[in-house]
């Protein structure tokens, strides 16, 4: 699993924007920026939709006031699902990034197998990234939702 102080692996994440599909190279997207990246097991799932994403939507201005350039949500879903979920959650200040094949999540070592529920998914986590380097990594214990909350990340900035 990736650790604090390590550089993010090279990977491509997709985003469906009003201008169409954009494939972002992680190393380029986060270069020279302070980023809060949080991951959810699945778009439109209960904790993710009721608490995790909404927390970042509500606190986006406060996070950006602390010097955060990008707030991004990533999930092992396709870009169409991520775009629809972001729209449904009024997440206009959040980059909704798709890790369709789970390659980024696997490269981080933060994947989990949910078997028949959904197959390969991401563990729930949040990280602070400074110029491509992980400066804080908060991975949730199974069935927990504390350390990756927007409030927790805001307090640590």
* Residue 134 pLDDT: 98
| pLDDT score recorded for residue 46 | 85
Residues labelled as active-site residues: 48
pLDDT, tens digit (0-9, with 9 covering 90-100), for 9-34: 999 999 999 999 999 999 999 999 99
pLDDT of residue 27: 95
For residue 114, the model assigns a pLDDT of 80
Q: Specify the pLDDT at position 33.
A: 98
**Looking at the predicted structure, is the pLDDT value of residue 45 above 90?**
no
What is residue 106's predicted lDDT score, i.e. its pLDDT? 97
What is the pTM for the complete model shown?
0.95
pLDDT value at position 92? 96
CATH tag, 12-156: 3.40.30.10
Rounded to whole angstroms, how far apart are CA atoms 44 and 35?
Answer: 23
For 97-156, the pLDDT digits (tens) are: 999 999 999 999 999 888 777 778 999 999 999 999 999 999 999 889 999 999 999 999
């Amino acid at each position: 699993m990736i650790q604090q102080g390590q550089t993010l692996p090279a990977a491509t994440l997709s985003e469906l924007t009003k201008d169409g599909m954009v494939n972002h190279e992680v190393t380029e997207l986060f270069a020279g920026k302070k980023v809060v990246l949080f991951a959810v097991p699945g778009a439109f799932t209960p904790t993710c939709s009721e608490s995790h994403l909404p927390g970042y939507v509500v606190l986006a201005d406060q996070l950006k006031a602390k010097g955060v350039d990008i707030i991004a949500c990533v999930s092992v879903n396709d870009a169409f699902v991520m775009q629809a979920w972001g729209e449904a959650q009024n997440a206009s200040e959040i980059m909704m990034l798709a890790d369709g094949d789970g390659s980024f999540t696997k490269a981080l070592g933060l994947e989990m197998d949910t078997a028949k529920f959904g197959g390969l998914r991401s563990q729930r986590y949040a990280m602070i990234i400074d110029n491509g380097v992980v400066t804080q990594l908060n991975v949730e214990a199974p069935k927990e939702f504390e350390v990756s909350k927007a409030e927790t990340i805001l307090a640590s900035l």
